[in-house]
Structure 1
Amino acid sequence: MARPRPLLALSLLAVPALAQAQDIEPRAFSNAPVGVNFLIGGYAYTRGGLSTDPAVPITNSQLETSSAVLAYARVLDLWGKSAKVDVVLPVTWLSGTAQLAGQPIERTVDGLGDARVRLSVNLYGAPALTLKEFREYRQDLILGASFAITAPTGQYDPSRVVNLGTNRWSFRPELGVSKALGPLTLELTAGATFFTENTNYFGGRTRSQDPITSVQAHAIYNFPHGIWASFDATYFTGGRTTVDGELNSDLQRNWRLGATLAFPLSVHHSIKLYASSGVSARTGNNYDLIGIALQYRWGGGL
């Protein structure tokens, strides 16, 4: 007997690139059976302008990064509403050149990136369901919220201006809406990222950063057999930095466009291909990204 389409189309956990405000994440708020676990292994490659932190004071950057990402997620029942907790840990290899105060610099480094933990809850339209109940579920309108914490676990050298880690915490609340219109699903999410101070920035200085607000829009088309594709866009602004009390001219107003294709290999395995590119960048976001993620899911009666 063929597997019901809702089971084959279980959403892949998004695998972030390198910076939260720049993530393009379709299907961030979707439903899945309670008790299902997701294990994701991913790889992403970027080339071009600065992709680790657009607010660092370098120019003419030409950097390449290769990132391996390991992620785990579990679907929960929170007072009758479906929810998901996920943990993401990246490992990155970075090399390239740039200019700092008009002088050329070169950087080659590899190591851990900053880890992220997130809890997302579907507040309306996606109740907590068992596997048997989920077989009959069809999405209409979903309203959701999430809260993510990024910890300073990444490789960091205060004598260098380009690093894999940020040496600070960040906190990101987000709201989202997802509306199904037959095979088409439209999504819109909005959030803000807040940062603690980096008190050991580039020679022991103190660096603070204003919040970055962002909006994402996705048009997702669901094909037969659990295949889906999306056209994605994100805009983010803010993030102006201050170093030892001196305000920098690094306000971000950046657009990115992307596309995603996901398809199941079985009821337990899925693959996702994704790409994005900077379209308009006031500060350091003119890089290209391409990635792949393999997902394995189990539990919850699958």
Structure 2
Amino acid sequence: MMALLLVCPSLARAETDPRDYTLALAPDHTNVFVAYARRRTSADSQSFAQNISYFRYLHVLKFGDLAFVPVDVILPALDAQVYIPTATGTTTAHGSGIGDLIYLPTIAYSIKESESSVTYFAFSSYFRVPTGNYDHRRAVNAGSNRWQFDEQVVVGQRLLNILVLEALGAVSFYTKNDDAIAAGTTTRIELSQSPTFTGTVHVSADVTKELWLGASYYYTANGEVTASTPTGDRTATEQQSVQSLRGTVGIKPVAPLQLLLQYNTDIAATHGATISRFVGVRFSYRF
């Protein structure tokens, strides 16, 4: 395998939190502003520390039981230090900047079985535009210099107005990064990646009107990365899988506000994928 530029993995996959798609049940013309902050670390096959922020705005339209989110934009930002082993010890590479802009329209349909039980279905398309900071001479980049398209389907169930169950599946497609250099060399390469598949399950339950608890399981099968060089094609990164668990505490101090406190840890990885973990906080305001 070849050593490559590091792009923050958490910026590059379709990822949801518990109850994200209960917006399918929100009133017409609901607006939501969301801000995330996460501290991710790993000392496994890769050693790094990342501070990741996301800023998101979305608007919900309702047509009876049909919900449409025509405006949903996410702007990520990254500050990272990567610790790279060398023959004489360890060198530190640093990178920071704005990540690729994400446009995320969603359509959803809900079926109300009773006053306390609702089933909902949703489909989302992520359009990741290569607007982020990218420089092939740097080892760490917030941008990826390629387009990415994620297609996600969701089925959810709210029971007794207390318990929420969600199952999600997604597939990601990528265009080529035609401006990359293998780490430690001056060789120009073109990177292409096979599709990535993601599966997610969320379970959450209200403890009180102001407090809920959630647990999530994530499985990601990252597509193989191929590097095209003047001497031929080589496998840069094998197909890798990562399994993760996340715990969430949801706090609603007043009606328009919600605060999520989260801890996420990878529990298994294959073919050299790193085991990482993060602590995070997420603030949202509905109006």
TM-score range, shorter-chain basis? Answer: 0.7 to 0.9
1:119 to 98, 105, 109: 105
CA distance in 2, matches of 1:144, 1:291: 26
- Does the aligned pair in 1 maintain the 2:45–2:275 contact within 8 Å? no
Q: CA RMSD in A?
A: 2.6
Residues 1:288 and 2:277 aligned together:
yes
Residues 1:148 and 2:126 aligned together:
yes
Residues 1:82 and 2:71 aligned together:
no
Distance 1:197 1:166, change over 3 A: same
Partner SS for 1:167: coil
Distance 1:196 1:78, change over 3 A: farther
Larger RCO, structures 1/2 (Cα 8 Å, 6+ apart): 1
Distance 1:96 1:249, change over 3 A: closer
CA distance in 2, matches of 1:144, 1:83: 9
Residues 1:253 and 2:251 aligned together:
no
After superposition, residues 92-107 of structure 1 pair within 5 angstroms as 92-99=78-85, 105-107=91-93
Partner of 1:19: 11
Partner of 1:277: 265
The answer for unaligned runs of 5 or more in structure 1 is 1-15, 50-58, 127-135
Q: TM-score, normalised by structure 2?
A: 0.84
State percent identity of aligned pairs: 21
CA distance in 2, matches of 1:98, 1:177: 42
CA distance in 2, matches of 1:44, 1:268: 22
Greater strand proportion: 2
Partner SS for 1:148: strand
- Does the aligned pair in 2 maintain the 1:232–1:258 contact within 8 Å? yes
Distance 1:279 1:62, change over 3 A: same
Shift of 1:189: 0.3
Tell me how many residue pairs correspond in the alignment.
265
- Does the aligned pair in 1 maintain the 2:265–2:276 contact within 8 Å? yes
CA distance in 2, matches of 1:37, 1:290: 26
Displaced runs of 4+ in structure 1, greater than 6 A? 100-103
CA distance in 2, matches of 1:241, 1:102: 29
Q: TM-score, normalised by structure 1?
A: 0.80
Partner of 2:254: 266
Amino acid at match of 1:68: S
